[in-house]
Amino acid sequence: ILENQNVFKFLVVERSRDRHKSRSKDSRSEKSVTINTPPAEPLLGDTAVRGEQVQDDNWGETTTAITGTSEHSLSQEDIVRITKDLEDSVGLDCRRYFTRTLAIILGLLVFLTPLAFLVLPHILWPDKLQSCGTACEGLFISVAFKLLILLLAVWALFFRPARAGLPRVYVFRALLAVLVLLFVISYWLFYGVRILDSQDENYQGIVQYAVSLVDALLFIHYLAIVLLELRQLQPCYSVCVTRSTDGETRHYNLGQLSIQRAALAIIEHYYCDFPVHNPALLSASKSRAAKHLAGLKVYNVDGEFPAAPAEGPGNNAAAGIAHSQSRAMIAAAARRRDTSHNELYYEEAEHERRVRKRRARLVVAVEEAFTHIKRMQEEEQKKAPGDVMDPREAAQAIFPSMARALQKYLRTTKQQHCHSMESIQQHLAFCITNNMTPKAFLESYLTPGPTVQYSRDFWRARQWTLISEASVTSGLKDGTIFLLKCVDFSLVVTSKKIPYIQMSEEYIDPKSHKFVLRLQSETSV
C-alpha cells in the first residue's frame, strides 16, 4: 500500500538466505567445528586418550580439525546434507581407529616394559647373573601387585564407553600420553645403556629399577585422575544456556573446563533439563511477524531501476538507497494503526480457556478409565482364571475410553507429533504395572518434558556444531560466549565467573536471647 510517495522509491526484494548467511559468517571469521554424539556405541567417541591401556576411547585429531568457514557457511539444506555425509564418512572413522591403535600400542608398551626389564637379563646373560635372594623375590610380589593395581586403575579410569566425539584433541589426555611415552622411553634408554650394554650382574638392582618404574607409573595415573577428573569438580563458572527459538534458559555451575568439554557437559544437561523443542509452538509468532510487514508494498515511482549493474558509484548508491528504503518501511509500519496486540491478547485468553477445558475432560476420562482396572491378588488368580489379563492387554482394554480426550488435548497443545498411539499404550501398561495413579499417568502428557523422555527418534539433534570465537581447547573464562547449533535451533551459552565469597562468623551466646513484655493497658476508673 502506498503511503508516502516521496519516501518509497524501490521494490522491496527479499534477500536470499544463502547470501545473507555466508556474508555474516565471513565477516566474523569464526571457527566452526563439529561435535558428533553417536548414540549408544561404546567403542567410538571421545578424542585424545591418555595411553597406558587397551581401550575404547578415541584419539582426537592429531592432524587438522574441521575448521574453516567455507564448509559451514551454507544454507539449511547443505548443512543437513553434510551431516548425513559425515555419518558415513570414512575419514572420521580412520581417525578414530588411528587413535585407538596408538593407545593400544602405548598401553602394551607400558605394561610389558617392567616385565621386559625383569626377563631380559635372564635371557641375555643368565650365567653372569646373581641369584635372586629373598628380598629380591619379595620385590617380585610387589611388582606383580602393583601391576595388577595399575591394570585395575587404568580399567576404571579409561575403559569407559566414550560419550562423544569432540572436535579437537583432548589436551590433558594428549599431554599425559606424551608424558608417559617420554617417561618410558627415558627408562628404556637408561636400561639399555647402563644395564644391557654393561650386562650388570646385580639382579636385585634391576628388580628395584623395575619396581621404581611401576611406582612412577602409578603416580602418573594419580596425576591423570587429578587432571582429568578432579580438577573440574569444583564449580568455578556459572554458565547461562538459552535456547534461541523460545528463550528457555537454565543456569549451571561448571568447573575449570575447556570450551569443548564444557559444551559437552551442557549438551548432556540439555537433554535432561530443557523441555523438548516443539516447532509447532513457534508458528504463531512467525505468522504475526509476517503479518506486520505483509500489508506494506514498496513501489518504484521515480523510474530509477535497481537492475543497473552494481559497479563503482552505482553500488554505493544502491546500498544507501536500500538503507533509506528499509527505514521508510519501518516508519510506515509504526505509523500504521496496529491492533495486533489486541488480537494476541484475546487469542491467548481463548486458547488458555480451551486448553483448560480439554484438560478437565481428559482428567475425568482417565480417572474413570482407571477405575475399571483392578489388580488381582494371587489367591484370586487361582480361583477365577477366566478373565485375567496381562498389563498390555489391560492397557489396550481401557485405552479406547480415554483415547479421544487425550488426542484432543494433545492437538490443542500441539503435542500430537510427540506421542504415537503405540507409545501411549506402552506408557499406560507401564503405569498399570507399577500401580500408578491416573495423575501419574497423565503427567507426561500435560507438560512437555525433557527430551530424554521421548522416543529415540526425537533425539534428532545428535549432531551438534560448536561455534566459538575463542579456540575450543582453551579454558572457559569470564565472559566466554559460544553457540551450540543443531539443525532446528541453537543454544547460546555465556559464562560468568563465580565471585570469591568472603564469609565471616558471628557468635551468638545462647543465653543472650532475652525478651521483655511491652504492654499498653487501659483501665477505666
Torsion of CA 40, 225, 474, 266, to 10 degrees: 40
Reduce the DSSP state of residue 104 to 3 states and report it.
Answer: helix
Distance from the Cα of residue 41 to its chain's centroid: 16
Q: Which stretch binds other proteins (CB under 8 A): 72-80, 234-242, 449-457, 517-525?
A: 517-525
User: Mask 467-486, x = binds other proteins (CB under 8 A)?
Assistant: --------------------
Number of alpha carbons in the 13 Å side-chain half-sphere of residue 432: 27
Torsion of CA 271, 274, 280, 282, to 10 degrees: -130
Mask for 188-227, x = binds other proteins (CB under 8 A)? ----------------------------------------
Largest Cα separation within the chain, whole Å, is 124
SS3 506: coil
Size of site (CB under 8 A) for other proteins? 8
Buried b (16+ CB within 10 A) or exposed e, 197-228: eeebeebeebbbbbbebbeebeebbebbeebb
Q: Is 6 in the site for other proteins (CB under 8 A)?
A: no
Stretch of residues binding other proteins (CB under 8 A), selected from 18-26, 168-176, 381-389, 516-524: 516-524
Neighbours of 49 (CB within 10 A): 28
198, 339, 434, 523: residue in contact with other proteins (rule CB under 8 A): 523
Q: In degrees, to the nearest 5, what angle opens at C-alpha 107 toward C-alphas 104 and 111?
A: 140
- Residue 520 in contact with other proteins, rule: CB under 8 A: yes
Three-state helix/strand/coil letters over 376-396: CCHHHHHHCCCCCCCHHHHHH
Taking the complex as a whole, the smallest distance from the CB of residue 511 to other proteins amounts, in Å, to: 25
Residue 516: CB minimum distance to other proteins, A:
9
Task: Decide if residue 513 touches other proteins (CB under 8 A).
Answer: no
The answer to whether the beta carbons of residues 420 and 406 sit under 8 Å apart is no
**How crowded is the C-beta side of 205, counted as CA atoms within 13 Å?**
9
* Binding status of residue 522 toward other proteins by CB under 8 A: yes
The answer to whether residue 514 forms part of the interface with other proteins (CB under 8 A) is no
Query: Least separation, in Å, of the C-beta of 244 and other proteins?
Result: 57
* Shorter beta-carbon distance to other proteins: residue 382 or 518: 518
Decide: is 515 part of the binding site for other proteins (CB under 8 A): no
Is 524 near other proteins (CB under 8 A)? yes
Of 435 and 520, which has the nearer Cβ to other proteins? 520
Closest contact distance (angstroms) between CB of 517 and other proteins is 9
Binding flag, residue 521, other proteins (CB under 8 A): yes
Instruction: Check binding of 307 to other proteins (CB under 8 A).
Output: no
Residue where the block lists cell 556459572 = 238
Nearer to other proteins by Cβ, of 198 and 521: the residue is 521
Where do contacts with other proteins occur on this chain (CB under 8 A)?
Answer: 518-525
